[in-house]
């Protein structure tokens, strides 16, 4: 591992995201642990994290988990995530056992009161920035894109696993969405998020929102223009963009949608619901040898805990990846 602070890397993992994906991908395997309990999602999550650790050679690994008892977002908005299918009992069982498995392994888990793994990711990116570390967030959730920076990248898990998933930095995010990383949260609030049952601002979607933000700079500037000069600058700026690109003028239409009853309130509400907490105490103590989450881990613990899942090949991989000091590597680009 590197001694230089600027070369140290924190891997922050959205554990529920990985568990959900692996439950659906591996359910047919019917894998049971040594105690006869469902283990396919736990094994799939751990396998992917081992592959990621092998690839990135982090100095510390942090797992964020959802508080499954209470939710501040659901309290504020009872319809939050309404419409999602009821979780399979075997998935619920593995979600509830994940923290115990990871803690027993010697990893660091954080389950914030009333909050979600998304909030842990947000705080991990902030912690890395403050301490001069680099950070990779591993998740399938697009909300993490809001935390992309020169120090933080997002490995967005898609079909194909770790090796087949894109590693997004500011340039790659812009190439995909036409949005600067610092504006992604505003873009998402305009667009809405069907998976969380958060409707967007009517009439402003994935094509219009990037144009609005790229031309106006931020939604703060948009609202200020509407308040101070009835949106005249917005209309002129958007119409000028349309003319330069051979498009039909949409300035007045866009202004009408933004000033429609409830539009600003919808944007502000979405922004509040989507914003991750950046001030959580993660319990990271990288200067204290043997602290949870620091690599390498104890071989006996790794052999016992991973061995309980009943997949010898994964146990061998875990012993190699988790207990042997990795060679110093650069973050892939």
Stretch(es) of the chain classified as CATH 1.10.150.20: 182-274
Determine what percent of the chain is predicted with pLDDT higher than 70: 96
| pLDDT computed for residue 250 by the predictor | 96
Q: Which CATH class is domain 5-180+277-323?
A: alpha beta
CA distance 66 to 16: 7
Predicted pLDDT at 177: 87
Crossing angle for the helix pair 40-56 and 312-323, to the nearest 10 degrees: 40
Residues of the chain with CATH 3.40.50.1010: 5-180+277-323
Q: Dihedrals φ, ψ of 189, to 5°?
A: -65, -35
pLDDT for 326 equals 61
The two tokens of residue 125 are 């990116």
Domain 182-274 is found in CATH 1.10.150.20:
yes
- Mean pLDDT (the chain, rounded): 94
Least Cα distance to 108 among 245, 276, 285, 252 occurs for 285
Predicted pLDDT at 299? 97
pLDDT per 10-residue tile (average), the chain, 333 residues = 68 97 95 98 97 96 97 96 92 97 97 98 97 97 94 92 93 92 96 95 95 96 98 98 96 98 98 96 94 95 97 97 71 48
Q: What is the pLDDT of residue 51?
A: 96
The confidence score (pLDDT) of residue 2 equals 41
- Prediction pTM value: 0.92
Task: Return the bridge partners of 199, or none.
Answer: 192
């Amino acid at each position: 591992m590197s001694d230089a602070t600027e070369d140290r890397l924190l891997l922050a993992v959205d554990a529920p995201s990985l568990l959900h994906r692996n439950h659906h991908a591996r359910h047919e395997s019917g894998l049971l642990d040594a105690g006869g309990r469902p283990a396919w999602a736990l094994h799939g999550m751990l396998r992917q994290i081992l592959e990621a650790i092998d690839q990135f050679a982090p100095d510390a690994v942090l797992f964020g988990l959802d508080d499954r008892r209470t939710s501040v977002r659901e309290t504020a908005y009872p319809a939050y995530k309404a419409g999602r299918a009821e979780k399979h009992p075997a998935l619920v069982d593995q979600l509830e056992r994940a923290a115990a498995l990871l803690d027993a392994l010697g990893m660091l888990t954080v389950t914030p009161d009333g909050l979600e793994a998304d909030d842990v990711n947000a705080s991990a990116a902030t912690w890395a920035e403050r301490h001069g570390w680099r950070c990779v967030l591993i998740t399938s959730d697009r909300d993490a894109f809001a935390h992309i920076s020169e120090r933080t990248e997002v490995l967005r898990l898609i079909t194909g696993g770790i090796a087949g998933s894109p590693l997004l930095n500011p340039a790659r995010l812009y190439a995909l969405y036409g949005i600067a990383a610092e504006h992604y949260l505003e873009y998402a609030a305009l667009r809405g998020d069907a998976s969380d049952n958060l409707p967007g601002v009517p009439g402003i979607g994935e094509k219009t929102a990037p144009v609005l933000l790229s031309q106006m700079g931020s939604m703060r500037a948009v609202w200020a223009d509407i308040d101070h000069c009835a949106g005249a600058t917005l209309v002129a700026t958007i119409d000028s963009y349309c003319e330069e690109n051979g498009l039909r003028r949409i300035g007045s239409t866009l202004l009408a949608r933004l000033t429609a009853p409830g539009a600003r309130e919808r944007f502000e509400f979405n922004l509040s619901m989507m914003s991750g907490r950046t001030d959580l105490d993660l319990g990271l103590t990288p200067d204290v040898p043997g602290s949870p989450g620091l690599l390498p881990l104890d071989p006996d613990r790794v052999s016992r805990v991973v061995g309980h899942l009943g997949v010898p090949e994964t146990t061998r991989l875990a012993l190699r990846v988790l207990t042997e000091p990795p060679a110093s590597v650069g973050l892939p680009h």
